Chains A and B, each alone.
Chain A
Amino acid sequence: GDSVTQMEGPVTLSEEAFLTINCTYTATGYPSLFWYVQYPGEGLQLLLKATKADDKGSNKGFEATYRKETTSFHLEKGSVQVSDSAVYFCALSEGYGNKLVFGAGTILRVKS
């Protein structure tokens, strides 16, 4: 079945450091890919998405490119802020039943 694997956390960075959170997936078809962010005590918010190969999703300085050849969708940000501290989830949907398959989540901590 479909699955999503994310790098384990927590990831601890200093403010203004470069961020990469790795995400790879296994799917039978051509899924849409997503990154969600969850701030403490809140629900998940859609951060960015890509619906086909080579698409780049971007939002709030975060980017991720849909790489079909490596089945990856790594999240990057050039300069993190303390306010980016949260849990980040990679997810995919093949469309059937519109079900989302989530990775386990990666905790990001940014120190000032």
Chain B
Amino acid sequence: NAGVTQTPKFQVLKTGQSMTLQCAQDMNHNSMYWYRQDPGMGLRLIYYSASEGTTDKGEVPNGYNVSRLNKREFSLRLESAAPSQTSVYFCASVGQNYEQYFGPGTRLTVT
């Protein structure tokens, strides 16, 4: 089992560019999450998907969109990147006791 995988690992964007962060899990979990992690602020929830075909906003959704493509995949899209979106992005999927399994992260810099 690969667990939770994320691509790319690193990305540099210019302000206004767009990109999609990919996430996939092979644990047959229903729920998947996107977080961002910034120094001194812990993890903040951007969007989540409780099941295939559903998505909901988290704590900091502005500037992002998501797609739950199927049960395995949950992507995060930045339509027009801003320097404030420089961060480390983590995807997670949720086990049956609500424990979350995290991917290795995508380190995004917006200049």
Instruction: Tell me the smallest distance from the CB of B45 to a CB of chain A, in Å.
Output: 7
A99 beta carbon closer than 8 Å to chain B: yes
List, in ascending order, chain A residues with CB within 8 A of B42's CB: 89, 102-105
A69 beta carbon closer than 8 Å to chain B: no
A41-82 residues with Cβ-Cβ distance < 8 A to B are 42-46, 49, 51
> Contact: B97 with A32, CB < 8 Å?
yes
Interface string of B47-88 (1 = CB under 8 A from A): 010100000101000000000000000000000000000000
Among candidates B41, B50, B56, B90, residue contacting A44 with C-beta atoms closer than 8 Å: B90
Q: How many residues of B contact A (CB 8 A)?
A: 24
B1-53 residues with Cβ-Cβ distance < 8 A to A are 4, 31, 33, 40-43, 45, 48, 50
> Contact: A49 with B97, CB < 8 Å?
yes
Report, as a range, how many residues of chain A touch the other chain: 20 to 34
Instruction: Tell me the smallest distance from the CB of B61 to a CB of chain A, in Å.
Output: 13
Given that A98-B50, A102-B42, A102-B43 are contacting pairs, would A93 and B105 also be in contact in the complex, using a CB cutoff of 8 Å? no
B109 beta carbon closer than 8 Å to chain A: no
> Complex Cα distance A95/B31, Å?
11
A97 beta carbon closer than 8 Å to chain B: yes
List, in ascending order, chain B residues with CB within 8 A of A44's CB: 43, 90, 92, 100, 102
Q: Which residues of B contact A (CB under 8 A)?
A: 4, 31, 33, 40-43, 45, 48, 50, 56, 58, 90, 92, 94, 97-105
Task: List 19 A–B pairs whose Cβ atoms lie within 8 Å, in order of A's numbering.
Answer: A32-B99, A34-B100, A36-B102, A43-B4, A43-B90, A43-B102, A43-B103, A44-B100, A45-B102, A49-B97, A49-B99, A89-B42, A97-B50, A98-B48, A100-B45, A102-B42, A103-B42, A104-B41, A105-B42
Besides A43-B102, A46-B101, A99-B48, 9 new A-B residue pairs in contact (Cβ under 8 A), listed by A number: A32-B98, A44-B102, A45-B102, A49-B99, A95-B98, A97-B50, A98-B31, A98-B100, A102-B42
